[in-house]
A and B are shown apart, each in its own frame.
Chain A
Amino acid sequence: MTSRQTWHAIGAMTSIAAAALLPVVSGDYYTSFGTEIAIMVLMLSSYRLIVLTGEWSFAHVVLQGVGAYTAAIAVKDFDWPFPLTIAAGAAMAALMATILSFPLLRMKGFYFLMGSFAAAEAIRLLWRKIPFFGGTRGLSNIPAPYLDLGGLTIDFGHPANFFHLSLAVVVCCLFLMWRMERARIGHIWRAIQQQDILAQSVGIESRTYRRLAFVIAAAFAGIAGVLLAYAFGTVTPNRFGLNFALYLMIWSIVGGTRTFYGVVLGGVVLMIFDESLRFAEELRPGVYGLILIGVMLFCPQGLERLLQSMARVLPGTRSDESGERGTLSRPGKS
């Protein structure tokens, strides 16, 4: 393990440990807010898998919604336990993404973005119009997960317990995504993003791997949706609207998408910022616009660039302008 990797590992472990202490040092309100941040971090990290292939999508939040609705129905109508709802949420979101990918991935760039918007709105319309999904009011009274191991019972309805459960799920998902990015599939996604034609010329079936990214990202978004359904106890179509899709995009850009931790950083910082603007709801879009313009002008690679600049002062670290590139490294370097 290189010094840089050691610092990354120490940073990640410290962040997780610090996050786990949140319920100890704050009340229920901020603990629940911590759960929201954890879910948002999962959303942003999964969204980045699509960005890795060079695409931006408006459909990602709706695929989170598919996971949320799946969990809500599975719990309310079939009384499924938490682990099963996680699996079902991920599977349904992945299935929906697979179906959507066939028409959408015939397009690229701006056309893909517009296509994803149309697909997302169509799905939201179905949720609003079909009574099974609860119409515009959605589905409510989703019971919290409950664990009964003989003598030991844990009620995840308690904010601290659910926060720890969400944190554990999110950390596992982040670890899987991190490993994927450093494995062969991650290299293929980056190759497609950087030079699609060259990638095809060396045997990479671009559309297949773009589809894989879209579907895997959707599965993780589905898991985020399941957590969201439990966290709020309700699922409504409006929660997965265009506003949220735009914010997801803005937060990714502000955080930076070149490194794994960029979007995590963007999610945490902007969620806190968003919460601090709660007193002035109507100002939020304007403020976000200003932040976006500011980042584009003064820090076009996002907040991750600032973190990299700070990291340079640490012993044993080096400048890495192109971000994390996975494990394809020269012998003797890792």
Chain B
Amino acid sequence: MAILELFALRKTFGGLVAIDNVSISVEEGAIHGLIGPNGAGKTTLFSLITGFYRANAGKVAFGDTDVTSMTTSQRAQRGLVRTFQANLLFADQTVFENVGSGSLMGRQRHALDWFLERAAHQAKAAASIQEILSFCRLEAKAGTLARDLSHGQQRVLGIAIALAARPRLLLLDEPFTGMTAREKDELAEMIQAVRARGTTVILVEHDMRAVMRLCDRITVLNFGKVLSEGTPEQVRRHPDVMAAYLGAA
């Protein structure tokens, strides 16, 4: 069953067609890769899916709901959550507080807690934050300010914040960028564990080793259009994909 379906999405910036008639279906529980050369439109497509950009034409369906006209936050509240290419964090907050900020809209609480926080709910929230920190192996850094973390830890914290928002579909935008080999292995494990928790993942990534290792299906974009789609093996052998990456002979 598809958790996300894109129907003939189109996005233009002035005369530039960034996304042209893109239709994709992402199966629930899958890790779906989105690859393509620089400028292919991957991040633009992420922004269209999550509502940061509005499509000029086409439709975004999340589960049974048409979310095309919804705002970013409305989509996030339904479980459509993304991370960013840059390390977007609450830099002046601790790691613990960052994850707490990610869960601000997710916690079900008494209406009064909006204005007057009660101790019982603080404890509940803290336990849930601890669980995410432990899952992301950031427990030891809980009290550290986000701006003082290493690049790799900041990438992981970005994912932890997104997980705190309780996503049904998590869109990861180049999560492996700038990481050491060891950090990449740990992150790959973590992404598989995220899927094991029941969260579908869409992965934009240039690290082909990670993409081929993690993804069940891959969509290849080039010049804003779908060039190819299939299993990692099918995509790897597709002549158009090889031409797009290596240049036409």
- A residues bordering B, Cβ < 8 Å? 179-180, 182-185, 187-188, 190-191, 194-195, 197-206, 322, 325-331, 334
Docked-complex contact A202 and B116, CB < 8 angstroms? no
Decide if B143 is an interface residue (CB 8 Å cutoff).
Answer: yes
> Max chain B CB contacts within 10 Å: which of A191, A200, A202, A206?
A202
Q: A199-B101, A329-B122 are in contact. List 7 more A-B contacts (CB 8 A).
A: A180-B116, A194-B90, A198-B161, A201-B76, A205-B71, A326-B117, A330-B142
CB-CB under 8 A for A203 and B92, given A184-B113, A329-B126: no
Docked-complex contact B143 and A201, CB < 8 angstroms? no
Task: Give 30 CB contacts A-B under 8 Å.
Answer: A179-B115, A182-B117, A183-B115, A184-B107, A184-B109, A187-B100, A187-B104, A194-B92, A197-B52, A198-B88, A199-B101, A201-B50, A201-B84, A201-B162, A201-B165, A202-B102, A202-B104, A202-B106, A202-B165, A203-B76, A203-B104, A204-B105, A205-B73, A206-B73, A325-B93, A327-B117, A327-B122, A328-B96, A329-B96, A329-B126
CB-CB under 8 A for A179 and B101, given A200-B73, A201-B72: no
Contacting residues, chain B, for A199 (C-beta < 8 A) = 101
Decide if B35 is an interface residue (CB 8 Å cutoff).
Answer: no
Docked-complex contact A202 and B76, CB < 8 angstroms? yes
Docked-complex contact B115 and A201, CB < 8 angstroms? no
Q: How far is the CA of A200 from the CA of B71 in the complex (A)?
A: 9
CB-CB under 8 A for A328 and B115, given A194-B91, A202-B76, A203-B165: no
Contacting residues, chain A, for B127 (C-beta < 8 A) = 331
Q: How far is the CA of A205 from the CA of B74 in the complex (A)?
A: 8
- The 8 A CB mask of B45-67 against A (1 = contact, 0 = none) is 00000101000000000000000
Q: How far is the CA of A195 from the CA of B73 in the complex (A)?
A: 14
Decide if B114 is an interface residue (CB 8 Å cutoff).
Answer: yes
Counting contact residues on chain B (CB < 8 A from A), the size range is 35 or more
CB-CB under 8 A for A191 and B73, given A184-B117, A202-B81: no
Decide if B22 is an interface residue (CB 8 Å cutoff).
Answer: no
Docked-complex contact A328 and B97, CB < 8 angstroms? yes
Contacting residues, chain A, for B32 (C-beta < 8 A) = none
CB-CB under 8 A for A203 and B93, given A183-B113, A198-B161: no
> Max chain B CB contacts within 10 Å: which of A188, A191, A322?
A191
Docked-complex contact B116 and A191, CB < 8 angstroms? no
Docked-complex contact A191 and B142, CB < 8 angstroms? no
Q: How far is the CA of A180 from the CA of B165 in the complex (A)?
A: 22
CB-CB under 8 A for A334 and B122, given A191-B90, A204-B104, A328-B97: yes
Docked-complex contact A203 and B116, CB < 8 angstroms? no
Docked-complex contact B73 and A204, CB < 8 angstroms? yes
CB-CB under 8 A for A202 and B161, given A188-B104, A195-B89: yes
Min CB gap A184→B, angstroms: 5
Min CB gap A204→B, angstroms: 6
Q: How far is the CA of A205 from the CA of B104 in the complex (A)?
A: 11
CB-CB under 8 A for A331 and B126, given A184-B104, A184-B113, A198-B88: yes
Docked-complex contact B84 and A198, CB < 8 angstroms? yes
Docked-complex contact B105 and A202, CB < 8 angstroms? yes
Min CB gap B157→A, angstroms: 11
Min CB gap A320→B, angstroms: 11
> Max chain A CB contacts within 10 Å: which of B71, B73, B84, B93?
B73
Min CB gap A85→B, angstroms: 24
CB-CB under 8 A for A328 and B123, given A179-B116, A194-B93: no
CB-CB under 8 A for A200 and B72, given A195-B88, A322-B93, A328-B100: yes
Min CB gap A224→B, angstroms: 20
Min CB gap A206→B, angstroms: 7
Decide if B155 is an interface residue (CB 8 Å cutoff).
Answer: no
Q: How far is the CA of A185 from the CA of B117 in the complex (A)?
A: 9
Decide if B164 is an interface residue (CB 8 Å cutoff).
Answer: yes
Q: How far is the CA of A182 from the CA of B91 in the complex (A)?
A: 19
Contacting residues, chain A, for B72 (C-beta < 8 A) = 200-201
Q: How far is the CA of A201 from the CA of B98 in the complex (A)?
A: 13
Decide if B130 is an interface residue (CB 8 Å cutoff).
Answer: yes
Contacting residues, chain B, for A325 (C-beta < 8 A) = 93, 97
Q: How far is the CA of A322 from the CA of B89 in the complex (A)?
A: 15
CB-CB under 8 A for A198 and B89, given A180-B115, A184-B104, A205-B71: yes
Q: How far is the CA of A197 from the CA of B164 in the complex (A)?
A: 16
Nearest residue in A to B71 (C-beta to C-beta)?
A205
Docked-complex contact B115 and A185, CB < 8 angstroms? yes
- B162: which of A183, A187, A197, A202 is its contact (CB, 8 Å)? A202
Nearest residue in A to B125 (C-beta to C-beta)?
A328
- The 8 A CB mask of B108-120 against A (1 = contact, 0 = none) is 0100011111000
Min CB gap B102→A, angstroms: 5
Min CB gap B149→A, angstroms: 15
